[in-house]
Structure formats: C-alpha cells, structure tokens
A = this chain, B = another copy of it.
C-alpha cells in the first residue's frame, strides 16, 4: 500500500542526492525513510520498497549510521531492527560540511604559504581559504536561524497564547 506517486517522488529526490555526491543506495534509503511510518521501517520493509537485497540494505544503513543520518532502534524482545530518520538529519548534513570547509581552507592556506603573499596566486588562495572559513563559521548559524523560524511557526499555529 505504498503510494506509487510518492515512491516516484522519493526516487527523484534520491537521484538529486546522488548527483550531489551521496552513494546511490544510502540516498534511496534516506528518501524512503522520509516516507516511513512514525515507527520507521524495518530492513525487510526497505528491501521490499526499494527492491534490493538484504545485503544492500545492510550496507546502506551502516553508511548512514556512521554519518548519524539515521537511527537504529532495536525494540527489546523483537529481533527486527527498525530504522528511523535521525531528528534533524538534513540540517545535520549541512552542518557536517563545516569540517570539510575547514579542511579546504587548511589546504588553501598551505598553498598560499608556499606561493607567497606577493604573488597573485598566493593572494587568490588566501582569499578563497577565507571564504571557506566563513562558510564553516556561518553554516551552523544558518541552521540556528532555521530552527528558530520553525519554533516561531509552531507558536503562531497556536493562537491562544
């Protein structure tokens, strides 16, 4: 009873994530989990919904857990694991870029140091490094901004306050 059109849209979303650099199967699992019921999907659910092998699901959820994008919930007494989208998984994916930006900045500053600050190349490297530092600092603030907007919306929806 999976809505066909929703599945289509999910696969399209996954394709976009793949184009943005995420491996295929993890991307598909992520999108599938957005559409999952409140208590998540089991590995078998994912296997069926995505039409892939158990091994593929296993690999994808391992990958996604390492990045803290999903949570595995082992209901005690049941042997089936349930997988859920981590709260704020997508915000996290943005904030997670901060270390990457810092590494980029580091590499560029190393370049700048070796090129010398009097050469155009050196100045260029320094400037781009600065931009990455800026992103690294600013992205987490952007998430905060979004979350307070969210909070405002939630408040606005309860008129009696």
B19→A125 contact, CB < 8 A: no
Q: Is A140 positioned at the interface, with any CB of B under 8 Å from its CB?
A: no
CB-CB under 8 A for A10 and B100, given A21-B21, A149-B134: no
Q: Is the interface of A mostly helix, strand, loop or mixed?
A: helix
CB-CB under 8 A for A104 and B13, given A20-B21, A115-B6, A121-B36: yes
Tell me how many chains of this kind the complex includes.
Answer: 2
Q: Is A107 positioned at the interface, with any CB of B under 8 Å from its CB?
A: yes
CB-CB under 8 A for A138 and B142, given A6-B115, A110-B5, A111-B34: yes
A121→B34 contact, CB < 8 A: yes
Provide the bound-state CA to CA distance between A20 and B108, in Å: 16
A122-155 residues at the B interface, CB under 8 angstroms: 124-125, 127-128, 131-132, 134-135, 138, 142, 145-146, 149-150
CB-CB under 8 A for A35 and B131, given A20-B21, A104-B16, A108-B13: no
B146→A115 contact, CB < 8 A: no
Enumerate 10 A-B pairs (CB-CB under 8 Å) in ascending A order: A6-B110, A13-B111, A16-B100, A17-B104, A19-B100, A21-B21, A85-B124, A90-B131, A90-B132, A134-B149
Nearest 4 Cβ contacts at the A-B interface: A21-B21, A6-B114, A13-B107, A9-B110
Residues of A within 8 A of B (CB): 3, 5-6, 8-10, 12-13, 16-17, 19-21, 34-38, 85, 90-91, 94, 100, 103-104, 107-108, 110-111, 114-115, 119-121, 124-125, 127-128, 131-132, 134-135, 138, 142, 145-146, 149-150
